[in-house]
Structure 1
Amino acid sequence: MSALAFILGPLLWMSGLLQVGPAPFMVICLPLMAAPILLMRYNGRHILADGMPVLPLVALFASSFVVLAAVISLIESPEPFRIFRVVLAQAFGLVLVPFFFVAQRLYGSIFCIMFVRRVVLIGVAINMALIIGSQLSSQIAAMFYGSYRFKGFLDGPIQMAILSATPVPFLVSLLLAKNDIKSGSKLITALGVFGLMYSLLASGGKFALGVAPVVSFALFCFVLLRRDGAIAVVKIFGMSVVAFFVVLYVYNSLDSWNPLLYDKINAILFATDIAEYQSVESRMVVWDISIELFLEHPLTGVGAGSMVDGLTHSHNVFLDYARGMGLWGVIGITGVFLCVLTGLVSAAIRFWLRPTGGSIVALGLFLSAALYIILNQMSDSFGLATAPIFWLSAAGGFALLAQPSQPPVRVRPAAPMPVRYRNAVPVARSK
């Protein structure tokens, strides 16, 4: 069943080839929908009889509520088929959360960790091959770059920025776990972090480029402070110095590598009023329109996934769902996000009480999902191309969190009595 990672990985990172729509993405969903059933039949046991933990169950309910709100919004929708942008984004959650739950019960937490790791590293390999090819050939660059921004096989550079930024805390957590868990080569994982940051830089996602390193560094500091005690302060200071010089080198090199991106970053850093920056200004226009449409249709919205001001989304997930599905859509997606944030807090507490490799990775997975939520306040609005990476992170975190912090004590059964003594009848001793 781990081969599913090699199916989902390329399809996720090459979704632009599929011409985003319901039929191609059902090709991704169907094998994953069948995965829990196949896992259960393979094992021959009714794993679900033990019951799923409350947190993933609430997340599934909230995701189903979003789907229901999307269906209700068809009353007002001028573009009914665009409902699939919302419905299929939630379908990944309705598939992946049960899949990871069953897989964790049957194969353990390492299976879940390795599944997400394989999907991420496949994406890194695809992106690095395209970036290197683009540097060698102008024809390849014209195919996979939009203006100065790398988009790969996706629809646009915004999706590439989110897909590249979201898994970074997860891979960092694998490095921090050291040898507590066997999660593949640390060198390959470190190269994966480098590849994600390189493709993020190439995508030109300025907001993601600022937030992803900060979240990952916060995870690094939190883990070291708990695990290494006083010596952690020295390590954090040393890493801060190294990070400063790395950022300085990248910033100075950016002028020759990507002058347009360099100018954009300078415009943000040295702007007297950030609201006057072009991309922020255009987003504020879309946000105002979305709020007006929500106030006009507070219950049903104007149609799930419908376009606004010529754009496919509102550049803010809450405004996009409020505009498209009204109050019910906001309630549903807020429920999903609250489950993730609750899982993040629970994972942090569990790690602080018992700092193991598994608890570090669970914290990293939830941080990746939380990073996705942050990025969607300015960008993709829970888009169809990026939703799977959120659900992979959240479902993996739920599965690891469901694992008991203390392993169950296994009592060895008593050795069976030898055959020649089983039917023996005690005989009274003669005096």
Structure 2
Amino acid sequence: MNTKKRRMLILSLDAVGSRDIEKAKNLPGFSRFFEDASRCMSVNSVYPSITYPAHTTIVTGRYPCHHGVVNNTKIQPGRKSPDWYWQRRYIRGTTLYDEAMAHGMTTAALLWPVTARSRITYNVPEIFANRPWTNQILTSLRNGTPLYQFRLNQKFGHLRNGIREPELDNFTHASLLYTLEKYRPDLTLVHFTDVDSQKHDYGTESEEAWAAMERHSHRLMEIQDTLERLEMSEDTIFVLLGDHSQKDVSRIICLNALFLEKGWISIRRGKIANWRVYSKGCDGSAYIYIRDKELYRPVYELLKKLRDEKIWGIEAFYTGKNAARLGADGACAFMVEAGDGYFFRDDTETFTRPTRAGEHKGCHGYRPEKTEYQTFFGIKGPGVRKNQVAAKMSLADEGPTLAALLGLDLGMTDGNVIDTFLEKE
């Protein structure tokens, strides 16, 4: 395949599902993009279907059990705010941007997960200050490209309000337009979180979530205008995708409260001091880790009882071996799936309770095959056939397909190249 002079721009719209795109297809920015784009409107995310594992799969073509980013946050029970899998070092194997740089391409990333301290040419990593002795500016500078970030903050820092939306996406959007014009990277990765934030706070069908889709439409229109003005449209493969969907929730499950009652967890000064069994939440699912092998059977019987009683929000549970077959962390003892309306937290306060004011109204993390829980993938540009439709895809198919269009190779992947989208030689 002739890949000469090809650039690629990948926009990830966090928590935008297939249903959202179907509803938004007449909004100007989306309508313009999909006019001649090839697409799949039934893309299964990864398990657990949360942001960091999903975005790592997009750029590796591998499932979490293989690329190593198995959750958003690390197992740190004693901390109120655990660290996230921010840094590139957590990814096993190569990535799309690593291969691009190995072939002499310039790269840019704006708030793309798990890129901190990577070798990306122009990098604003998604990371926040999680220690009392530092601040957001220093944390970002240490983990990304210092001079590039300094310039962006000088020009567009006034648009930000911490990590609040839509201000954060407004900053990201302005930074993207500037980056395209000044640096013209060969590969650009952008992560927008506006819809995800609104769905978490207000629910999946809320006015606030729809307003975020309208803002995305406006951003899309400006991006497409910019590509045309810079005469980059003809040589840019433009990719628009989602990482997962969301479901509405109204109740919380805290398995660690039960483990505390059983004596499997100990508390000191209000914090978990020690544990033999621990539930690490992924919103719609949860990992169960066991340090004491003698407790494997009691935990199994407890989970089976909760599932079979059908009143606690536990829909299913899987052994660690079966979790790995689903793409999740095989190091867990069990993985637990929440039923409709429920999600998991790591608290030890109360086993299950209704959500309170200020807590999530929408969540993800569930099995990706659930009904009306799929996300989407759209692509257009050089080397891409127009208006082709793939009936189904996995998020793991995206990396190999994108690599093929750039003449790159991700090596052994769990996904496959979607030949339907590629022009023939």
Q: TM-score range by the shorter chain?
A: under 0.3
TM-score, structure 2 normalization: 0.25
> Higher strand share goes to which structure?
2
Answer with 1 or 2: which has the greater Rg: 1
Structure with the larger helix share:
1
Using CA pairs below 8 Å that are at least 6 residues apart, which structure has the higher relative contact order? 2
Normalising by structure 1, we get a TM-score of: 0.24
